[in-house]
Amino acid sequence: MMKKLKWLVFFLLLSQPASADYKRAKALFAKQDYKRAANEYFVTFSTTKKRSEKRKAEWGLAQSLQKDGLLYSSSKYYSIIVRRGRRASNPFFRSALEELGKINSKLSLGRSHIVKLFKTKLRLSDVPGPARGFYFYYKGIEAFGKRSFEQSADFFKKVPTSSDYYLGAVFHLGVISNISGRHSRGIAYFEKVLAGTRGKKQYDEMREMSLMNIARVHYENKRYTQAISYYGQIPRSSENWLDALWESSWAFFFMEKYNNTLGNIHTLHSPFFENRFFPESYILNAITYLRLCRYDSVKDSMGQFKKRYAPVYGDVKSMLNRYRGDAKGFYKLVYDYKRGNLRKYRDAEQIIKKLSSIDAYKGARDTIRFADRELDILRRYGAWRSSGLLKNLANFLKSKKKAAISNAGRLMFKEGTTYYSQLLELSNQTKLIVAEMQLGKLQKLRSLINVDRGSKRVDFIGGLQKLNINETLEYWPFEGEYWEDELGFYVYNLESKCQKAKGK
């Protein structure tokens, strides 16, 4: 009898008008009791058979979660609304798209999330003004990733100037212009980014990458002096500083400013940066000495490369074999490194460090952090357990973390194989240089290096600092001790031995 009574009560509860839950939810939302409102909206969403009420409950649930600070959780329901597309039976489409744009500007939803979001084809009129920056920027990113550069540029040009995504769109237009050979236009776009980011700390990375790209455009066009001046604007405190110093070394080389090239490489090889990955610096070191006919130093540089990178090569090979097909494990390896818990592959540390700085890793790291924060909050929301909302959101957040880790691990593994191939190629180059030297074919080697002797002569000293011709210089001999405040300012004082070699 009691069992039958329980079933009767359960049936009566199910048969209650869903509108009662919806009305309670609306009242709670109006009172700003968003936790209870979210629960009531979820019950309505899960039980009502009325489509219009289901849509309103879905929207109310997303709004309640957002108001309660659960931005990732709210994005689940906003995304469901958007993926349904623009139609009469989906009245909250435009508003949901706007809210997702706002959320993504505060914390990244993740590229894979957004790409899936915009699989639905939309007309321009379907996209509300406030959401156009968000929509067109990521459509541009998607096309850019597929190397559809013309289509990508069309999307980026539609991002409004008032949008938070505008400067990012302009930056990509600069990259596309340069890829297409329109170098002057590319520089103009990057200069626009520099003007728009000036004095805005949150845009430091974009500003520095614009400086680097302008420098690269000048370098590609053999305007080495201009390239060096832009590389020189990267602050020493930046993660990009060593890359700027390294790339400028090639500019100095092609200007035949060999002592500056050697000085920059001297900084790169200092103990301060022993875990940074610049294997090609030993090759440039060798061919610079080759230009100066200092053949013992060429051999020495090749020997240093082998000593430093042979163990790295072996460890990287072992690491890639171990984690092939294990994206999650590979991500955890890099994560452990960032946490200071790397227990193996210590000789591959400099490559693991490089992998920890790529966008794929940073994006996954942020996704995990934001998702874990919300999971921690949800553990305190016991009242949502009986309705199923707690389990529903927890599963979504865990799935989001899993997808981010898998995607990042796969992309980082791919990048790791690129670094491995680079080491293999450079190792072959060192063998070639040594072999040619042993065969006495020095002239052949030197002829392989095409230096543009028509470059305008400019004097430099100390890394990227331009030399005042009237300045009296004192060269202090290096005695084996590096000083941190002198890094980037080293310059050699070596003369070429080539004339002496001819005299013999």
Q: 3-state SS string over 185-201?
A: HHHHHHHHHHHHHCCCH
Assess whether pLDDT exceeds 90 at residue 66. Answer: yes
- pLDDT at position 439 is 60
* Bridge partners for 460 per DSSP: 466
- pLDDT at position 390 is 95
Q: What is the pLDDT of residues 82-139, one digit of tens each?
A: 998 888 889 999 999 999 999 998 888 887 788 788 877 778 888 888 889 988 999 9
Average pLDDT of span 184-210: 94
Assess whether pLDDT exceeds 70 at residue 420. Answer: yes
Q: Where is pLDDT greater, at 337 or 18?
A: 337
Q: What is the pLDDT of residues 354-385, one digit of tens each?
A: 999 888 999 999 999 999 999 999 999 988 99
Average pLDDT of span 1-24: 52
The Cα 221–Cα 232 span in angstroms is 18
Assess whether pLDDT exceeds 90 at residue 388. Answer: yes
At 182, list the tokens: 């329109």
Mean of pLDDT over the chain: 83
Q: How confident is the model at residue 465 (pLDDT cuts 50, 70, 90)?
A: very low
- pLDDT at position 477 is 43
- pLDDT at position 125 is 82
- pLDDT at position 145 is 86
* Bridge partners for 466 per DSSP: 460
Helix (H, G, I), strand (E, B) or coil at 466: strand
Q: How confident is the model at residue 236 (pLDDT cuts 50, 70, 90)?
A: confident
At 366, list the tokens: 């942020």
- pLDDT at position 156 is 96
- pLDDT at position 492 is 59
Q: What is the CA radius of gyration of the chain?
A: 30
Q: What is the pLDDT of residues 138-170, one digit of tens each?
A: 999 989 988 999 999 999 999 999 998 999 999
Q: How confident is the model at residue 410 (pLDDT cuts 50, 70, 90)?
A: very high
Q: Is 0.85 surpassed by the pTM of this model?
A: no
Average pLDDT of span 279-287: 89
Q: What is the pLDDT of residues 18-42, one digit of tens each?
A: 456 889 999 999 999 999 999 999 9
457 backbone dihedrals φ, ψ, rounded to 5°:
-80, 125
Burial class (CB within 10 angstroms; exposed 0-12, middle 13-18, buried 19+) of 38: buried
Q: Give percent of the chain above pLDDT 90.
A: 50
Among 488, 461, 487, CA closest to 472: 461
At 69, list the tokens: 């600070």
- pLDDT at position 384 is 94
What does the angle CA 437 – CA 438 – CA 439 come to, to the nearest 5 degrees? 90
Q: Give percent of the chain above pLDDT 70.
A: 83
- Region of 148 on the Ramachandran plot (φ > 0 left; ψ -120 to 50 alpha; else beta): beta
- pLDDT at position 401 is 94
- pLDDT at position 20 is 60
Q: b/e map of 248-269 (b: 16 or more CB within 10 Å)?
A: bbbbbbbbbbbbbbbbbbbbbb
- pLDDT at position 342 is 86
Q: What is the pLDDT of residues 423-463, one digit of tens each?
A: 888 888 887 777 666 665 555 555 554 444 444 444 444 44
Q: Which residue has the tokens 């520099």?
A: 194
